[in-house]
């Protein structure tokens, strides 16, 4: 018989064996402890299920033919709450072994016939523990990557806030407006069924859509009277300015289409690129409706906020010309059936 010496690779790993023959468990206990494993033997399969539920084990050696339930039923119960436990199935009767389909379905990693000698079983245990070590290492690496991604995400959001505050200091209107456009865009995106990733892009894109106003002279940006044609032309540069400011930062690449194209029109008469219809990036078309809605419902020094019924009529009128008709229809559905959500946003982000 091969002599199994305790090794560093086995220290600290916990093995549970389930067999209704106490003699087998006693023998396994000797071999497992000699090999350096922490070992627990159980004769009752129902007790074993509860142990695994309440205590961590790395590997299970499981007899197939037991009472009151067979090994496959034990695995079925364990897999309901533990998908990772490495399981080796034992049987003393080859003809009564579970079919291969059952072994695959229950994710049983190993199979071994009972023998008076434990060499083959111990080799399978060693192999199983190596797999467990690899799985634990992968989990550790994934957790480190997740922590790194969280730190990058935090740095990204901190950068977002810093740039936002720069614009808000220049244009007091931008703060409430950008927050509301962000929230309206997300609400509209949900109505349209966009992905969670796109919802996040809409959220950040809405916050940043007017970042280019940092490049507009204060005399124009803060002017209370009606703008001249020349002044309006300069205002129209803010989407391109915003895209230019953000274009070299990898973290902002997803929101660039919103920043640059939220003033495009579905009929091609918008700016800065005069894109037509579906040439306009989809998320920019969503943000355009949210942006226009907030502009219409916000009070300015030179005009009062529009009444909601008038806003609905304006969105209908501009469907297919200024707005993507499908997106306009979705937003009208929100206004008609979920207006309380609009009001919550307006209340939360008052100018």
Say which range, 123-137, 253-267, 305-319, 332-346, has the weakest mean pLDDT: 123-137
37-57 mean pLDDT: 94
> How far is it, in rounded angstroms, from Cα 291 to Cα 307?
16
Which CA distances in Å does 259 have to 27, 45, 139, 238? Answer: 71, 62, 38, 9
Q: So what's the pLDDT on residue 3?
A: 44
**Tokens found for residue 297:** 């419902």
| Secondary structure class of 61 (helix, strand, coil) | strand
Domains in the chain with CATH codes: 14-141 (3.40.50.2300), 171-348 (1.10.3210.10)
What's the whole-number average pLDDT of the chain?
Answer: 86
> How far is it, in rounded angstroms, from Cα 98 to Cα 142?
35
**Which of 351 and 232 is assigned the larger pLDDT?**
232
What burial class does residue 328 get, using C-beta atoms within 10 Å of its C-beta: 0-12 exposed, 13-18 middle, 19+ buried? buried
> Which residues partner with 61 through β-bridges?
17, 88
> How far is it, in rounded angstroms, from Cα 6 to Cα 314?
80
- Residue-wise pLDDT for 231-285, tens only, equals 888 888 899 988 888 887 777 889 999 999 999 999 999 999 999 999 999 999 9
**Which of 103 and 23 is assigned the larger pLDDT?**
23
Nearest CA to 32 out of 23, 22, 41 is that of: 41
Question: Contact at 8 Å (CB) between 68 and 45?
Answer: yes
Put simply, whether the predicted model's pTM sits higher than 0.75 gets the answer no
Residue 8 has pLDDT above 60, yes or no: no
**Tokens found for residue 259:** 């920043």
Q: Which residue has the tokens 């996040």?
A: 200
Nearest CA to 11 out of 37, 40, 46, 39 is that of: 37
Q: So what's the pLDDT on residue 50?
A: 95
What's the pLDDT band for 93 if we cut at 50, 70, 90? low
Q: Which residue has the tokens 């399978």?
A: 124
**Tokens found for residue 24:** 């087998």
């Amino acid at each position: 018989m091969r002599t199994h010496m305790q090794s560093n690779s086995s220290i600290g790993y916990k093995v549970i064996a389930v067999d209704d023959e106490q003699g087998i468990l006693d023998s396994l206990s000797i071999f497992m402890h000699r090999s350096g494993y922490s070992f627990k033997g159980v004769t009752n399969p129902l007790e074993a299920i509860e142990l695994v539920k309440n205590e961590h084990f790395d590997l299970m050696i499981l007899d197939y033919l037991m009472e009151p339930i067979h090994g496959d039923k034990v695995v079925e119960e364990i897999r309901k709450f533990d998908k990772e436990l490495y399981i080796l199935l034992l049987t003393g009767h080859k003809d009564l072994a579970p079919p291969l389909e059952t072994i695959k379905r229950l994710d049983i990693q190993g199979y071994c016939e009972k023998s008076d000698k434990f060499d083959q079983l111990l080799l399978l245990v060693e192999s199983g523990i190596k797999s467990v070590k690899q799985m634990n290492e992968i989990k550790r690496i994934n957790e480190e990557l997740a922590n790194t991604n969280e730190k990058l995400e935090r740095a990204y959001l901190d950068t977002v806030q810093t740039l936002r505050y720069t614009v808000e200091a220049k244009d007091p209107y931008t703060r409430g407006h950008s927050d509301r456009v962000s929230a309206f865009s997300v609400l509209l995106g949900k109505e349209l069924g966009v992905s969670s990733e796109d919802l996040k892009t809409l959220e950040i894109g809405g916050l940043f859509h007017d970042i280019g106003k940092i490049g507009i002279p204060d005399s124009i940006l803060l002017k209370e009277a009606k703008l001249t044609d020349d002044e309006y032309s300069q205002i129209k540069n803010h989407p391109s300015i915003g895209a230019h400011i953000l274009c070299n930062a990898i973290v902002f690449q997803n929101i660039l289409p919103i920043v640059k194209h939220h003033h495009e029109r579905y009929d091609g008469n918008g700016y800065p690129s005069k894109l037509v219809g579906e040439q306009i990036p989809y998320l920019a078309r969503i943000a355009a409706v949210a942006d226009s809605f907030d502009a219409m419902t916000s009070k300015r020094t030179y005009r009062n906020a529009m009444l909601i019924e008038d806003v609905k009529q304006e969105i209908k009128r501009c469907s297919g010309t200024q707005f993507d008709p499908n997106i306009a229809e979705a937003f009208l559905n929100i206004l008609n059936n979920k207006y309380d959500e609009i009001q919550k946003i307006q209340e939360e982000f008052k100018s």
